[in-house]
Structure 1
Amino acid sequence: MTSLETLTHLAPPPASPTPTDWNAVETLLRMPLPADYKQLVDAYGPGSFCDFLHLSTPHRNKEAVDLTGPMPARLRRQLEKDHDNDTHSMPHRPEDLFAIGVTDNGNHLFWITTPRNQPDLWNITVNEADGHTWYTHDGSLTSFLVALLSGNEHPPVFPRDLLSRGAFFTPTPPADADTPPAPSPRGSVTNATAIREWARSQGYDVPDRGRIPAPIIQAWEQSH
């Protein structure tokens, strides 16, 4: 039984989550993503485990859990600042961390993106809300969730009563889910310039020339 199959037994997913265009997402992020994460999101869609751990997924209208928004880069810059100022000790290089979730207590969940070109080998780390304590799981995001929801692992930064109501998944209500807007007419130099400037201000890595990736255009249209 795979980790995902075990997870779906522990916390059943919703009936029909919205599919994701992973090629477009990876093009936008300019990096490959772990296969287990893509399968996890395809099975569950956006939502939270135990009404506590909220996973980041693409194109969300809630910035804290938007995989393709500015939050991962913003958190990395803050970690780099803390590292440079020796504010907190951390077991991983900030440039290797990519945010993949957040809890109701303000903990952040990260991929440790090494080796960079082998995402299926990325491990998971969680930090305490104030940044002092870290917990690292030697395995994928799905295996971390299985270990957590089965009670076999318990990060000290998480509450002891996390499983008091058992393991369950709560999908994001449709009213809060992000629905990509219909694409607007292309070809406007003014719009292209405005989109590039907006995208860079939001932390996106957008090319100076050529086609602007569709997910960036969709994000711009939704923002405006």
Structure 2
Amino acid sequence: MSLSFIHDLLGEVRRDRLAPAGAWSALEQIIGVDLPSDYKEFVDGYGEAMLFDHLYVPHPMSSPSLAEFIESENETLREVFEPDSDMPERVRESWNRMIPWAYHNWDGDTCVLLPPVEGDGWRVAVAFRQYHRFKVFDGDFSDFLRGILKLGEFPPGWPTGGPLWRETEDGPLVF
């Protein structure tokens, strides 16, 4: 799916360089799955930043690294949640393969990518820690971004103010 709407909303790519050759493949080797191309394109151009002042999106070259972010968030999710019948089936099917890709600093929610399962492609889910539940969104990563950035369709409880995009307080990502 095209991310041209992202460029229309956020302007040209905000990073001078893409992740170094091999950074994505090294990460994919660690997590055991090839990540969706629209996710990688977005993170390469706009990652290591905050969306709406509250949604932190790490980059493969972030510190801590994206691999460390994924591992840490997965550990936290496993401490907070157990795969049970109250959880959406799509999350239970992907429980051991979920890939955290963003953290919401307002209330500790985590956005995860759910790898494809038979008959269904990549999905985005949000783990609402305060409400102890998950919500699976229709569509893929691009559809989720289009919903929040262009259509203003935010997950419940998320503040909607603040700039669409800003660098993290650590400054520009340099590699």
TM range (shorter): 0.7 to 0.9
Identity rate, percent:
23
Q: Deviations over 1:139-174 (max 9, x none)?
A: 222221111122352211323xx0x45x62112356
Structure 2 CA distance for partners of 1:8 and 1:147, relative to 1, 3 Å: same
Structure 2 CA distance for partners of 1:131 and 1:96, relative to 1, 3 Å: farther
Task: Using the TM superposition, give the Cα deviation of residue 83 of structure 1 relative to its aligned residue in structure 2, in angstroms.
Answer: 1.0
Higher mean displacement: 46-55 or 25-34: 25-34
The 3-state SS of whatever aligns with 1:127 is strand
Structure 2 CA distance for partners of 1:36 and 1:135, relative to 1, 3 Å: same
- Whether the 8 Å CA contact 2:47–2:58 is kept in 1: the answer is no
Q: Give unmatched runs, 5+ long, in structure 1.
A: 180-224
Q: Which amino acid aligns with 2:135?
A: Y
RMSD: 3.0
Distance 1:60 1:111 in 2: 19
Larger proportion of strand: 2
| 2:140 match | 140
Q: In the TM superposition, what are the counterparts of 1:69-80 in structure 2 within 5 Å?
A: 69=68, 71-80=69-78
| 1:171 match | 167
Q: TM-score, normalised by structure 2?
A: 0.76
Structure 2 CA distance for partners of 1:52 and 1:115, relative to 1, 3 Å: same
Q: Which amino acid aligns with 2:165?
A: F
Q: Which has the larger radius of gyration?
A: 1
Distance 2:87 2:26 in 1: 33
Q: Which amino acid aligns with 2:121?
A: L
- Whether the 8 Å CA contact 2:97–2:114 is kept in 1: the answer is yes
- Whether the 8 Å CA contact 1:17–1:44 is kept in 2: the answer is no
The 3-state SS of whatever aligns with 2:3 is helix
The 3-state SS of whatever aligns with 1:121 is coil
| 2:38 match | 36
Q: In the TM superposition, what are the counterparts of 1:24-173 in structure 2 within 5 Å?
A: 24-62=26-64, 66-69=65-68, 71-81=69-79, 82-83=81-82, 89-91=86-88, 92-93=91-92, 94-105=95-106, 106-115=108-117, 121-159=121-159, 162=160, 164-165=161-162, 168-172=164-168
Task: Using the TM superposition, give the Cα deviation of residue 97 of structure 1 relative to its aligned residue in structure 2, in angstroms.
Answer: 1.7
Distance 1:137 1:31 in 2: 20
- Whether the 8 Å CA contact 1:125–1:136 is kept in 2: the answer is yes
Q: Which amino acid aligns with 2:136?
A: T
Distance 1:174 1:80 in 2: 29
Q: TM-score, normalised by structure 1?
A: 0.62
